[in-house]
Amino acid sequence: MNKWQKIIGVVVILALIVANVWAVMDYIHLADTAGAWSAEITQKSFFDCIFSFRQHFWFYTFLSIIDLVIIIVLFICLWRKGGKQ
């Protein structure tokens, strides 16, 4: 593996770590804002709040798909490299 490939790999993994940590923190904030931790909130106000934050859920879905694709690509690369020893 070349040095530039290792550097790019580390940068991509660090970017994904930061994005995932940010997504978790954003989700915690969203849950707190939506009142998901409170049993007193009405269903209508809960769904109104969730609907206003739908772009956050698209971000979570997109991030999960990116993570899955990278995992599959890395698995295929390691699988192919393992057979060439």
- pLDDT one-digit tens code per residue, 10-69: 888 888 888 888 888 887 777 777 665 566 667 777 677 777 777 777 888 888 888 888
What pLDDT does 84 receive? 57
* Run of H or E residues at 11: helix 3-34
Number of domains in the chain: 1
Whether the model pTM is above 0.85? no
Residue 60: how many CB atoms within 10 A of its CB? 15
Of 75, 85, 65, 81, which Cα lies nearest the Cα of 16? Answer: 65
Spatial distance between the Cα atoms of 11 and 53, rounded to a whole number of angstroms: 29
| Domain boundaries, position 7 | 3-82
User: Average pLDDT in the 59-83 region?
Assistant: 82
What pLDDT does 11 receive? 87
Burial class (CB in 10 A: 0-12, 13-18, 19+), 53: middle
What pLDDT does 22 receive? 86
